[in-house]
Structure 1
């Protein structure tokens, strides 16, 4: 059984917790077996299990636990990076927590995710100049009047958030390769170059840098690009690796 298969047990449609009715499969695992299997997986791969459950929306507690565990990992490994090793002892935990939080948010991103609208700063409205014709009180006719008014943001349609799906491939991860299509004379599909086949836009690493810059000015942008960004990417990779390990552990205990 995979991690994805466990999601339905957290959002059941009926009272039967088992995946298969006992009368049709007497040897199927019982509900108690499933609970025990998930408990064993959680103990063997706590970070990967918590990260996945938080990502799919099963539990906010799991999401917070994943960030906490990733922060601990970051604190134990950050001294390998000179710029992070030199951080003051009272600042380092806060910086690692920010990096872990952004790494987890990036890990949770998908084509179905929403992101803040940058055009209106999540307000749903923008200031725009509107030209109207108004009559003069003296009766001398009409004249143009320019006014600043609040109008609904066209980018997000007033919602304050927009889709994270890649605009080039509409979240599919596949797009038409123009040059190859012209060469062969037929549409040729390939991984979208804009999103590298993911189907969605990742959180820019500069967002994480801006967040830690509000805590400390010890890390310059040049240093961040040289070594800090690589450590940040390592944290994202750690989450993906731990999820794979948790999935393998669950498959093993349910085999």
Structure 2
């Protein structure tokens, strides 16, 4: 059983507990079976389970953000730049960093992000030209073109103000290698270089170091690796929970 299959049991549209016989696949498990499996998996990887449920919106992110902050505080003892900060500033810095770690970890190809084209409004200003004419008796005479600004629906988001957080590979993580495909005569796919196989872009670094109040050079030199390792830790905990759940449901 996959972690993603658990989410539906927290908000079922139509499900009668105990109406489905117990079985060995996710499709035939009752709510009781699922909750028991979840409890056994949590006993082996509680952090990973809570991370995923917070990521899916089932649980509020407060507890898991506190966990990330505690982890960051422990790891900051080996970071000279963080140790040079005052205790109050370091605490606020790591709190903000932890919130962005969770946001970055929570992203997926199905996530939605604010449309950069319209800044989330769903509309953009467009310049149009109209040709006006005047009538003299039975004849029409054109005037000069008239330029005006109008509000039109943003094409990238279709007026929604948000777009899917998927890469150009449409969330697949691979793209068609045209050169190898033409040479071999069959479709050949390669890892997408833009997202490195994730299927979606990560948070913009400019947003992170701006929120932390540090310049880009300081972020790249001192804190980027620290941030990336915290995000990697979250993914590792989720992978551990995935394996634990798979063991108890097979």
TM-score class normalised by the smaller sequence? 0.7 to 0.9
Asked if structure 1 preserves the Cα contact closer than 8 Å seen for 2:122 and 2:160, the reply is yes
Asked if structure 2 preserves the Cα contact closer than 8 Å seen for 1:48 and 1:242, the reply is yes
Q: In the TM superposition, what are the counterparts of 1:76-155 in structure 2 within 5 Å?
A: 76-134=74-132, 142-155=143-156
What is the DSSP-based 3-state SS (H/G/I as helix, E as strand, rest coil) of the residue aligned with 1:130?
strand
How far does residue 35 in structure 1 lie from its aligned partner after superposition? Answer: 3.1
Provide the residue aligned with 1:223 in structure 2.
Answer: 218
How far does residue 237 in structure 1 lie from its aligned partner after superposition? Answer: 0.5
Provide the residue aligned with 1:206 in structure 2.
Answer: 206
For the residues of structure 1 that align with 2:30 and 2:231, how far apart are their CA atoms? 35
Residues 2-36 of structure 1 deviation map (CA, whole Å, 9 limit, x = unaligned): 53343343233312258x615x78xx987556434
Provide the residue aligned with 2:195 in structure 1.
Answer: 195
Residues 188-236 of structure 1 deviation map (CA, whole Å, 9 limit, x = unaligned): 12222222222222222232112112xxxxx432121122111110111
Taking structure 1 as the reference length, what is the TM-score of the superposition? 0.80
How far does residue 69 in structure 1 lie from its aligned partner after superposition? Answer: 1.2
Q: In the TM superposition, what are the counterparts of 1:137-176 in structure 2 within 5 Å?
A: 142-167=143-168, 169-176=169-176
Alignment partner of 1:68 is 2:66: yes
- Number of residues of Structure 1 aligned to a counterpart in Structure 2: 243
Asked if structure 2 preserves the Cα contact closer than 8 Å seen for 1:84 and 1:228, the reply is no
Segments of structure 2 that go 5 or more residues without pairing to the other structure are 135-140
Segments of structure 1 that go 5 or more residues without pairing to the other structure are 214-218
Q: In the TM superposition, what are the counterparts of 1:49-60 in structure 2 within 5 Å?
A: 49-59=49-59
What is the DSSP-based 3-state SS (H/G/I as helix, E as strand, rest coil) of the residue aligned with 1:90?
helix
Taking structure 2 as the reference length, what is the TM-score of the superposition? 0.81
Alignment partner of 1:234 is 2:235: no
